[in-house]
Amino acid sequence: MKEKVKKYIGIAKEKYHSARAFFSKTYNKHIIYMYVVTALLINLVIEMLARKSFLKGIYFLIGNPYVFICSAMIILMTLSFTFLMKRRFFGMTLISVIWLILGVANGVLLSNRVTPFTAVDLMLIDSALGVINKYFSTFQIVLVVIALILAIVGLVVMFFKAPKVNHKIKYARNIIGIAVIWAIGLGTINLGVASELLSMKFGELRVSYYDYGFVYCFSNSLINTGIDKPNSYSGETIEKIVKDDDDKTTLKKAKKKPNIIFLQLESFFDMNNLKNVKLSKNPVPYFEKLMKNYPSGYLNVPIVGAGTVNTEFEVMTGINLDFFGPGEYPFKTKLVDTTSESICYNLKEYGYSCHAIHNNTATFYGRNVVFSNLGYDTFQSIENMYIDDFTPMGWAKDYFLTDYIMQALKSTKKQDFIYTISVQGHGSYPTSGDYDYPIKVSGVDDEDVTNQYQYYAWQTNEMDKFLRKLTKALKNFGEDTILVMYGDHLPSFGISGEDLVNGDVYQTQYAIWSNFKTNYTNEDIEAYQLESKILGGLNMNSGKINNYTQLHKNDDDETYQEGLKNLSYDLLYGDNYAANGENPYKPTDLKFGLHDVKVSSVTPIGDDVGTVYIYGNYFTSYSKVYINDEKQKTVYIDPNTLMIVYPDLKDGDSFSVYQQNSDEHVLSKTEPFVYNQEEMQPSSTKAQTTKDKSKKTKSKSSKKKKKEK
């Protein structure tokens, strides 16, 4: 027995030394083989993750070998830089881990939304962290954090323990080798594009990722950003477009100037449009009534399942998102530091005040910055709202928006434009049957999906009731008003065109309600044409892009798109020929909230604990007290009262209240309020005074009653 054990141990040692010798020889003399195999394996694993199947990853390799090799070449190109490192194994591992993390992120996102992971998503990390708890449990988040920590620790250990090459690096030769790999890689990709096996432009993002693979598409989204300069772009081209349009029309006098409200409904659509799903009752009877009795149609939106702000971008600016790179979010790229023509700037020509309302955080998708560059005067977000009713998934319910819309209408004496962004229909959607769903769904084999549909039907039914409440309030308001309602995109259920009556996952529905007669007609339109439809019906043609679409949207599509792309490029990336060489749009001084938050008094309680009450106006649960610029733990009592514990209160302490959703994201702060004890009456004295007044009142009342008797 001992002899057999020794024999097996000997064999194992021999195999170990043999493998080690093979690794050493490959690592030091035939390293290119290791690089090629690593690139192929990483790409295969990434595709398996994207397709959520080992076999489907293999099928992609067999069915699309050239495309697969192109993606592997991109990975090899990134690995090639480690030719210049002594610790090549560490460098290879680091780059491989980065690619695998990107692949895992793509797989996770595809499990929670329809659109895949793009380079621009890296710019949305701050927004993603704010809602991660709505998609993943605490346990899952902890597991991810632990995995990341272990990965970092492993890389640190590997940096010190990984083998170095045992020969002197010939840098000149290796640089030439890197250049050769890049030349082969770029040549392979360009050949694929020329032969139409690959494409530089993506129509439907998720289909392109499925056809061309994650690595190629992600790399494309990394370098292909902004609007490419049109071949026909020049000062003469823009001048001709503008001059031709000016010859046809000048700035018109509006027929009517009603209040205009755009209501963007999160993930909202009529579930009755699903072919094989049966509902116990109609979730959206009122919206269907609006569709029937008012101008309506399908709205072609640029995204599905996620990416709300890209629909916003098209609706607000009139610019076709297809002009940008694949998966790009202009809200996180160009509009961060550039103004753009928008419905707000165009309506300001007619004397409108412009308001944005959103029952989620102002910093989500960077709206707190971008809305200034789109011409809004005020932005009422959840940080300045009193909301105490949320969905089971933690999203604010939409019926609160009615009051804030009405407040915005009443806040000015002139006409108002209000862009309202709803949130109640937001994913993710629970798979459990733990809720008493008011609408039952049948026709779906998967129980988890059935529960998701039932939850979604429940939420859209409540959103439908909100629409009824809002139109009733607007009808009773007494001012001419147009309300445009539409879904920003379909929910993230993995719905395909075959599942829908209309056959297109990039279509939502819109309806135009008004309390006066309009001439709008039923038609299917693009999201970037919605502004021109509404303003055109009111005889408002301000803005080069708005006016161009009003005049040319029915032209030959290629000609129309070419002109629109030229104007869009000129405004955002070109020389502003359309505006005599200068961007005519200046950022607004965006005010957060319709009302100014104020501190009116600071009152300590007469005890040793140090309880201090801060009194004022328009406080919310997002209000935080700062004393001498230091944040205090704040308890929200009501819109007029906040409480802190501060035993060290003294004369001269400066109080401010900040509206913020995190320490990094402060939206506004009050003017400093300086505490002066002599000017403040202690609360105990106030209370005693109140009691004394109460006794005197009772005594007088008692005497009066006796006299009456």
Q: Which two tokens stand for residue 577?
A: 């020929």
pLDDT at position 128: 59
Residue 680, pLDDT > 70, answer no
Predicted confidence band of residue 388 (pLDDT cuts 50, 70, 90): very high
User: 269 near 508, Cβ under 8 Å?
Assistant: yes
Angle of the 544-552 helix axis to the 557-572 helix axis, nearest 10: 180
pLDDT of residue 122: 76
pLDDT of 314: 97
At residue 327, the pLDDT reads 80
In this predicted model, what pLDDT tens digit does every residue of 589-646 receive, in sequence order? 999 999 999 999 999 987 667 899 999 999 999 999 999 999 999 999 999 999 999 9
**pLDDT value for 159:** 76
Task: Flag whether pLDDT at 26 surpasses 60.
Answer: no
d(CA 511, CA 500): 19
**pLDDT exceeds cutoff 60 at 524:** yes
Same topology for domains 235-571 and 596-691, yes or no? no
Distance of CA 214 to the CA centre of its chain: 21
Please, which pLDDT band fits residue 707 given cuts at 50, 70 and 90?
very low
Can you tell me whether residue 338 is helix, strand or coil? coil
Structure confidence at residue 696 as a pLDDT band (50, 70, 90):
very low
Q: How far apart are CA 546 and CA 522, in angstroms?
A: 20
Rounded distance between C-alpha atoms, residue 366 and residue 345, angstroms = 20
Query: Is the pLDDT assigned to residue 225 strictly greater than 80?
Result: yes
Q: What is the pLDDT of residue 361?
A: 93
Instruction: Indicate the range of 203-212, 247-256, 468-477 predicted with least confidence.
Output: 247-256
Domain 235-571 homologous superfamily, CATH: Alkaline Phosphatase, subunit A (3.40.720.10)
Measured in whole angstroms, the distance separating CA 93 from the mean position of its chain's CA atoms is 33
Amino acid letter, residue 230: P
The residue that leads in pLDDT, 168 or 479, is 479
Which segment of 579-588, 594-603, 653-662, 677-686 scores lowest on mean pLDDT? 677-686
pLDDT of the residue at 6 = 63
Alpha-helix residue ranges (DSSP H) falling in 113-170 = 125-131, 138-161
pLDDT value of position 496: 86
Q: Output the pLDDT for position 702.
A: 42
Nearest by Cα to 370 from 342, 347, 390: 342
Q: List Cα–Cα distances, 542 to 110, 320, 346, 539, 560, in angstroms.
A: 41, 18, 5, 9, 18
More confident residue, 452 or 684: 452
Whether the CB-CB separation of 431 and 446 falls below 8 Å is answered with no
- Please say if the pLDDT value at position 691 is more than 90: no
Task: Please tell me the distance from the alpha carbon of residue 392 to that of residue 601, in angstroms, as a whole number.
Answer: 37
Res. 687: pLDDT tops 50 = no
Q: Is the pLDDT of residue 653 over 50?
A: yes
**549-576 pLDDT tens trace:** 999 999 999 999 999 999 999 999 999 9
H or E segment to which residue 265 belongs: strand 259-265
Name the range with the highest mean pLDDT among 149-158, 164-173, 573-582, 694-703: 573-582
DSSP state of 252: P
Q: Tell me the average pLDDT across 51-71.
A: 92
Predicted local distance difference test score (pLDDT) of residue 98: 92
Instruction: Tell me which range, 15-24, 156-165, 660-669, 691-700, is most confidently predicted by mean pLDDT.
Output: 660-669
Whole-prediction pTM: 0.81
DSSP-derived secondary structure for 663-691: TTEEEEEPPPEE--GGG---HHHHHHHHH
The pLDDT assigned to 24 comes to 53
Q: Residues 278-329: pLDDT tens digits?
A: 999 999 999 999 999 999 999 999 988 878 999 999 999 999 999 998 888 8
Q: Which CATH architecture has domain 596-691?
A: Sandwich (2.60)
The span from the CA of 291 to the CA of 303, in Å, is 22
Q: Report the DSSP pairing between strands 378-380 and 353-358.
A: parallel
> How much is the pLDDT for 254?
72
How far apart (Å, rounded) are the C-alpha atoms in residues 252 and 622?
44
Confidence of residue 204 (pLDDT cuts 50, 70, 90): low
- What Å distances lie between residue 255 and 180, 258, 414, 475, 519, CA to CA? 66, 10, 16, 21, 12
Q: Which residue has the higher pLDDT, 649 or 25?
A: 649
Beta bridge partners of 612: 604, 644
- Ordered by start, the domain boundaries in the chain are 12-223, 235-571, 596-691
pLDDT at 140: 67
Mean of per-residue pLDDT scores for the chain: 87
Q: Please, are residues 428 and 491 in contact by the beta-carbon 8 Å criterion?
A: no
